[in-house]
Chains A and B, each alone.
Chain A
Amino acid sequence: MKTVSGEQRYWNPYIGGVLLGILLFLSFFLVGHGLGASGGVHRVAVAIEDLVIPEHVDKTPYIAQMAGGDRDPLSHWLVWEVAGILLGGFVSGLLRGRVRLQTYHGPQITPRARWAYALVGGTLMGYGARLARGCTSGQALSGGAVMSVGSWAFMFAVFAGGYGLAWFVRRLWQEA
């Protein structure tokens, strides 16, 4: 039951959803909490920062709790989960011939422009994910599954932000 998308065959979303749901459940069952991603990436960033300017890390409370003094920001489950995500994504792509150096972009903009927008979007995401104390994996999926009010509110806020701005930036993604 694979649907065709351009030249790619991706899984039927309902199947993917069921599998993801089972994985999410197993995560709660085995280790007591849900999935996560943004925190892991952040910790890698903090680890690099700690190598370069450790005194500053020690003095800034928000990051000191992760990397201040002797603490190793990388010895945390999120970092391992992120490593796993990279590996899993890579293997999946490899098996289907989707590992290729290229840029996905809307037909109306150039790859370079796409890079700029990706950078800006990523920066907003980085800031927003820390502000919300989670991202779509941690907050929306995991928090949503255990019915946290904050997570559901977060989820709808993401939709509001995305759908709200979509029409105004349609040139980024739409056909002419």
Chain B
Amino acid sequence: MSREGRLQLAGAALLLLASVALALHGQPNPEQKWAYMAPQYRHLLDERLVYIDPAELLSLMNDDYIQLVVYDVRNERDWNLFHLVDSERMPLESLPGQRDRLLALPENAVVVLVSNDENLATQAWKHLMVIAKPNAYILEGGLNHWLDIYGVAPEDAGGQDQTATVLQDGTMRHPFAQALGDRHAAAQPDEHHFPARSYEKRVRLIKKIAKAGGCS
């Protein structure tokens, strides 16, 4: 066989080997991908830059300019007991399916993740970063904290101690006699009925780099 023929055969073997090795190695799963991305995004979590105060979430809910997407990542039982108005139930397994929608969100869109405390929502946030890097935040203290503030009926505000005993992390601390879903007053509290909270505004709108490729 000529020298050229041998080189071609070597090249072909190399390509085949590289592709088979790639298939065996596989593409990174979400955990691995987060491990690769962590150096860039870790600090957002460590410095609590993406955790937002319940009052900030409430102001987002009332802001007409912001396109708000609230993902509630809790289980169905907790969801039925109580969830915020206009939130969407989105268990962790369903997040990958949101990819196309997230990538298509406009500049004025903000995603907020809520769970009972912070752990599940933080996990979901990492998943979102791996999937689509949206402009996403986590409700600080989760719905338990939200209900600490807004769960009290307006006329009782400033009085009773609403916090129940500390239960297992990740469960609903506040008791609900009935499954009210988003019909509870705290699902969309009237901010004027509650004392103003001071908090550090964390949400920022990110200018989107126009993604365009190919021949257009």
- Residue numbers of A with Cβ under 8 A of B are 1, 14, 32-34, 36-40, 78, 129, 133-135, 137-139, 142-143
Interface range on chain B (Cβ under 8 Å from partner): 10 to 19
Q: Are B215 and A134 in contact (CB under 8 A)?
A: yes
Q: Across the interface, name the chain B residue whose C-beta is closest to A31.
A: B213
Determine whether B11 belongs to the interface, using a CB cutoff of 8 Å to chain A: yes
Determine if B214 and A33 form an interchain contact, defined as CB atoms under 8 angstroms apart.
yes
Distance A37 CA – B215 CA, assembled complex (angstroms): 6
Task: List 16 other contacts, CB 8 Å, given A36-B213, A36-B215, A143-B214.
Answer: A14-B8, A32-B213, A33-B212, A34-B213, A34-B214, A37-B215, A40-B215, A78-B215, A78-B216, A133-B215, A134-B216, A135-B215, A137-B215, A138-B214, A138-B215, A139-B215
Name which residue of chain B comes closest to A151, CB basis: B214
Residues of A within 8 A of B8 (CB): 14
The prevalent SS among residues of B at the interface is loop
Residues of B within 8 A of A (CB): 4, 7-8, 11, 211-216
Cα A133 to Cα B195 with chains together (Å):
56
- A contacts with B: majority SS: helix
| CB-defined contacts of A38 to chain B, threshold 8 Å | 215
**A143, B213: Cα distance in complex, Å:** 10
Q: How many A-B residue pairs have CB under 8 A?
A: 42
A137 to B214 alpha-carbon distance, docked (Å): 8
Q: List 20 A-B contacts (CB under 8 A).
A: A1-B4, A1-B7, A14-B11, A32-B213, A33-B211, A33-B213, A33-B214, A34-B213, A34-B214, A36-B213, A37-B215, A39-B215, A40-B215, A78-B215, A78-B216, A133-B216, A135-B215, A138-B213, A139-B214, A142-B214
Closest A-chain residue to B216, C-beta based? A39
Within the complex, the shortest CB–CB distance from A39 to chain B, in Å, comes to 4
Closest Cβ of chain A: how far from B35's Cβ, in Å? 20
Give chain A residues whose Cβ lies under 8 Å from the Cβ of B4: 1
Contacts of B7 on A, CB cut-off 8 Å?
Answer: 1
